Structure 1
Amino acid sequence: MADTPISSVSLSLTHVVYNPSSPLSVISAYLALLPQALLIIYTTLLYATREIEIGLMLAGQLACEALNYILKRTLKGDRPRLDLGKGYGMPSSHAQFMAYWAVYLGLWVVVRHRPALEKRREGGYVGIAVWQRGVLGLAAFVLSAAVGASRVELNYHYPHQVYVGFALGTACALAWFVVTAGARYYGLLDWLLELPPMQWLRMRDLLIDEDLVHAGWERYDSRRRKLRAVKDR
């Protein structure tokens, strides 16, 4: 009795079909992998810094993805080419993902990242410069738009599916930003950080007041100066 052949399938999470003869199509294929890359960045930053703000942003991102999963199976919108992509096309999950990321990041940089007044008076970290905030926000939105356009270029989505994805991602970012602001204002975030699991994970809340790179450099520079002073004695 011959062995029954085992059928193989593609891992659609990272599988992108594109036209190798078109430079725009090649660029679009790489742009399509950006949401997965951002999830890796989320996870790496959260593990390395243990910052609650990064965890909150990631939680909202995953909730936004869950909403997209539900809507796709409710609306059941077809893709331009049925042989491309797994599942339904309405709304575009790539567009929704990137819109949430760009809007929430922009709001965080402009509204929430405010170094404490006493640190400014002491000549410490004064926050991200206005022009840097503008450049960062603009870059995030341009990148978000490029990913959305890539989905149309690759024939994975109709334009209106991308537009709806952008609208939903923006709405999710705005709503979650308000929720997290309320949690901080009413002390829920402080309560959360006092829970044993959070203490065990060493979760902290420093990112709105300081740049972790700058703070790390200050500690290193202070230690370096002390060691140099000892050697010069």
Structure 2
Amino acid sequence: MEDNVMSVSDVLHNNGEKIIEWQPLALTLVEYPKGDWIGKFFAFISLSPFGIGAGFVALILFRRDLHTISFFMGILLNEILNIILKHTICEARPMVRGHLYNEYGMPSSHAQFVWFFSIYVFYFVLIRLHHINNNSIISALWRMIIVGGCLTLAVLVSIGRVYLNYHTTSQVVIGAVVGFLFATLWFTLVHRVFTPLFPQLVSLKFCEMLMLRDTTLIPNVLWFEYTTSRQEARARGRKMAALKPTQ
């Protein structure tokens, strides 16, 4: 039976054509043991950085807020730092993953990404949003949910990378530490150095053309946008009603 089976490479060889070698895109490929529901869960969790990145692109396109852009720039720099560290340390991934990945595994890029993201969100909520409705139980609750959700995601991604044998424990721990430290450094730069420059930056002609904005002095941006759009809609509704001819 096996003698009658001809592979695709054999067919290409016999026809004198060039054999095409298929290379998987390691960035998005996530595997888990067949039938392992815990592994499947961690595989889905491992895709969260891509969802976060897509969310940032959408926010920047539609909101064009300098704080969001600065946050995203930090994420990009964090990824560049991870690449530099990997090619400096040159530590391979676990042997079980050697046949899929040519890149190095120290530190874990997933762990470094999610911990940078989570710690930056923690600082943002703790420092930037501390003045918003401090006496409101609901406000304190949603801040706890946001921070708790981000930190839980970071822990799950870190555990998943070890569980699925994509990284060793040390690679994940070092990635988390680097992400934590760089998030602290980057938030400090944004909060202390960049934010005071935002008012002058948004007044530039180039930034006005891109409709970039600074929401630093607005305590609750979501509530401000909600009330402003509702008032504008009501004002336009009354104006249109006044222009209608009376019968």
Range of TM-score over shorter length:
0.7 to 0.9
How far apart are the structure 2 equivalents of 1:146 and 1:192? 38
Tell me the equivalent position of 1:221: 230
2:91·2:104 contact (CA, 8 Å) conserved in 1? yes
Q: Distance in 2 between matches of 1:165 and 1:61?
A: 14
Matches within 5 A, 1:147-186: 147-184=157-194
Aligned: 1:77 with 2:88? no
Residues 108-139 of structure 1 deviation map (CA, whole Å, 9 limit, x = unaligned): 112113668xxx8xxxxx9x812221121111
Q: CA deviation at 1:10?
A: 1.0
Matched, 1:67 2:81: yes
Q: Hey, what's the Cα distance between the residues in 1 that align with 2:239 and 2:202?
A: 39
Partner of 1:123: none
**2:104 alignment counterpart:** 88
> Is the CA contact 1:99–1:166 (under 8 Å) kept in the aligned structure 2?
yes
- 8 Å CA contact 2:198, 2:214 repeated in 1: no
Please tell me the residue identity of whatever aligns with 1:30. F
Paired position in structure 1 for 2:68? 54
Superposed CA offset, 1:64-118 (max 9, x none): 11010000011011211222434111000000000000000111112113668xx
The residue that corresponds to 2:127 in the other structure is: 111
* Shift in Å, 1:218: 1.0
- Go from structure 1 to structure 2 and tell me whether the alpha carbon gap of 1:180 and 1:44 turns closer, same or farther (over 3 Å shift): same
Higher relative contact order (CA 8 A, sep 6+): 1
Identity value in percent: 27
1:228 Cα deviation after fit? 6.0
> Structure 2 unaligned runs (5+)?
1-14
Separation (CA, whole Å) in 2 of partners of 1:66 and 1:223? 43
**In the alignment, is the contact (CA less than 8 A) between 2:26 and 2:100 conserved in 1?**
no
> TM (normalized to structure 2)?
0.81
Q: Read off the aligned partner of 2:147 and give its amino acid letter.
A: G
Take 2:209 and 2:154, find their aligned partners in 1: how far apart are those partners?
36
Instruction: Note if 1:130 corresponds to 2:140.
Output: yes
Contact 2:85 2:106 in 1 (8 A): yes
Q: 1:88 to 1:113 in 2, by over 3 A?
A: same
SS in 2 for 1:129: helix
TM-score (norm 1): 0.86
* Structure with larger Rg: 2
Report the AA paired with residue 45 of structure 1. Answer: L
**Counterpart pick for 2:48 among 34, 41, 44:** 34
Identify if the C-alpha distance between structure 1 residues 217 and 64 changes in structure 2 by more than 3 Å, giving closer, same or farther: same
Aligned pairs, number: 223
Partner of 2:12: none
**Gapped regions of structure 1 (runs ≥ 5):** 121-125
- The residue type paired with residue 105 of structure 2 is G
User: In structure 2, how many angstroms separate the alpha carbons of the residues matched to 1:48 and 1:27?
Assistant: 31
- Equivalent pair of 1:114/1:209 in contact (CA under 8 Å): no
Deviation per CA, 1:14-73, whole angstroms, max 9, x where unpaired?
Answer: 111211310111011111111111110011001110000000000011111101000001
Tell me which amino acid in the other structure corresponds to 1:153. Y
1:19 to 33, 36, 48: 33
Instruction: Report the Cα distance in structure 1 between the residues aligned to 2:102 and 2:204, rounded to whole angstroms.
Output: 40
Query: Which residue does the alignment assign to 1:4?
Result: 18
Alpha-carbon contact 1:84-1:156 (below 8 Å) kept: no
